[in-house]
Amino acid sequence: MLIGEAEIPVTKATELLGVSRSSYYRWRKLDGENENDMELRNLSRIAIEFPAYGYRRITAELRRRDNSVNHKIAG
């Protein structure tokens, strides 16, 4: 695999940067998970703001804040 438009092999690029190949691939995987992280942060903020809320109230609050909520916890 080559990195970006520079067409540098991953092995060479990670060697030059002083990071392991596994760290590079972990970073690439995390790049696509930002949306999931944002939803989790919203959930955490609600749980901190309303410590007495259970999953039903948190689900309702997420919907009020225009967040998509998994159909499995719809109530």
Domain that holds residue 19: 2-31
The terminus-to-terminus CA distance of the chain in angstroms comes to 45
Statement to judge: residues 47 and 64 lie in one domain: yes
* Structure tokens, 45: 């903020």
* Structure tokens, 2: 């080559």
* Highest mean pLDDT of the ranges 3-7, 60-64, 68-72: 60-64
Statement to judge: residues 39 and 67 lie in one domain: yes
What pLDDT band is residue 71 in, cutting at 50, 70 and 90? Answer: low
For the segment 30-60, what is each residue's pLDDT rounded down to a tens digit?
665 566 666 677 677 888 888 898 888 888 8
Domain count, the chain: 2
Specify whether the CB–CB gap between 58 and 47 falls below 8 A.
Answer: yes
